[in-house]
Amino acid sequence: MHVTVVGLSHKTAPVEQREKATLADRGARELMNALVAHESVAEAVALSTCNRTEIYAVVRDPLEAEPLILDALVDHTRIGRDELDCARYTRRDERATSQLFRVVSSLDSMVVGESEIQGQVRAAWDRAREEGAAGPILNQLFRRALEVGKRVRSETRISAGPSSVSTVAVNVACDAFRELSGRSVLVIGAGKMAEGTMVNLVERGAQDVVVINRTVTTARALAARVGGRGGGFADLDAELAAADIVISSTNAPHPVLMAEHLQPIMGTRPDRPLVVIDISVPRDVDPGVRDIPGVVLHDIDDLEQVVEANMNGRRREALHGERVVHEAVDAFAEWRSGLAASPAIRGLRDRAEEIRRGELQRMEGVWDSLSDADRERLEALTRSIVNKLLHEPTVRARAAVREAEGLRHLESLQHLFGLERSA
């Protein structure tokens, strides 16, 4: 069995393509169930964040299964096959393992060291387990990945400084105005990203914070944590007219702020600029908003330029993180190798035990004069002989699967001892 990942990310696709490939909870569940219904796909986990959509799978034949994964992405998202083929990447076995370990360690993030990704990976894994799409190999892979992520964060200073997209968004807001204390800030959305943004805003001096969400009670509960106000989308126009900074982070599948909606509002405040920061994928804000006089729009790709300016220190820390990942990839490969060898080894030991017991039973009539103590000694002797004979083949079989010809050696072992007949 092989581990494979097929996906696209901020490194291979602009936000216009990434937003088409995003998977909401229901879509992710449907995609995973569709994949594991195929005989060639044994396990699957769908990971979708603002900067990537990746499908991790355990497959028998990567050449057969990978086109199925691509078809599933096209069927369950809004991205077309041509767009996907231009932006996607495919990695197998150790490279697929490395990809997940680097993702969960935030080494592959737009903001290296960002803190949200571990929770997003855990949520994707939990969803796969709920659907029965994750099995023994991906469960082990994702469990180890989360351990690697924790280790990288604890052993390096990779998170020093701004460590999330929401933090960078607040930095952009601060750069636009000398201070936040006298500015009105509007946060659209009440999820974890919006919550992180709001906390950062308050820490940087914001006092007039308004949260708008489709569920008013959720908006009010979140805003109450910092002494702000919460409301619903019916209040959006009035709050936009009063706002100096808008930070939008919802899970909406379509824009919630259109140019034709914002333009007349800006007409009522010609001398007051508005900074709009869209940190959602799919985007919350219509790109046409950029063309409205007085509006400065930053989307998630724009934030990457801000991140780049403060990356040197993190890159040095990331080098140590890469070494941690490399060690973990080797350890997982060794675990998988042992897993691959286990059926052959188990079959060999079962066959030897069958022969040992059969010979003892065959001689039972000849040894009717043996005492119980003699029988126990004979049992221990024959078992010891079998264990010693099989020790070296067992060690070599486990080592062989880590070599290029490893599977061929296992097949030879099964053929020589007739183990394929009992498989």
Instruction: For residue 309, give the H/E element and its range.
Output: none
From residue 69, alpha-carbon distances to 64, 89, 297, 300, 324 in Å are: 10, 12, 35, 27, 30
Query: Measured between alpha carbons, how far is 359 from 341 in angstroms, rounded to an integer?
Result: 27
Tell how far CA 5 is from the center of its chain: 11
CB of 169 closer than 8 Å to CB of 277? yes
- Residue 177 phi/psi, 5° resolution? -130, 150
From residue 281, alpha-carbon distances to 208, 299, 348 in Å are: 26, 9, 53
CA atoms within 13 A on the CB side of 404: 0
The tokens for 308 are 């780049």
Long-range Cβ contact pairs of 211-214 (< 8 A, separation 24 or more): 211/187, 212/186, 212/187, 212/188, 212/236, 212/239, 213/188, 213/189, 213/250
Query: Measured between alpha carbons, how far is 320 from 304 in angstroms, rounded to an integer?
Result: 23
Q: What is the DSSP string of 325-360?
A: HHHHHHHHHHHHHHHHHHHHHHHHHHHHHHHHHHHH
The amino acid at 391: H
Set 13, 50, 69, 277: catalytic member: 50
Query: Measured between alpha carbons, how far is 340 from 68 in angstroms, rounded to an integer?
Result: 24
> Strand pairing partners for 6?
55, 90
Query: Measured between alpha carbons, how far is 90 from 88 in angstroms, rounded to an integer?
Result: 7
Sign of torsion over alpha carbons 57, 62, 67, 70 = positive
* Three-point CA angle 140, 129, 346, nearest 5°: 45
Instruction: For residue 237, give the H/E element and its range.
Output: helix 236-242
> Strand pairing partners for 302?
none
50 is catalytic: yes
From residue 244, alpha-carbon distances to 123, 184, 196, 266 in Å are: 34, 5, 19, 11
DSSP code of residue 285: B
The tokens for 274 are 């508005």
* Three-point CA angle 82, 88, 93, nearest 5°: 140
Indicate which residues carry an active-site annotation.
Answer: 50
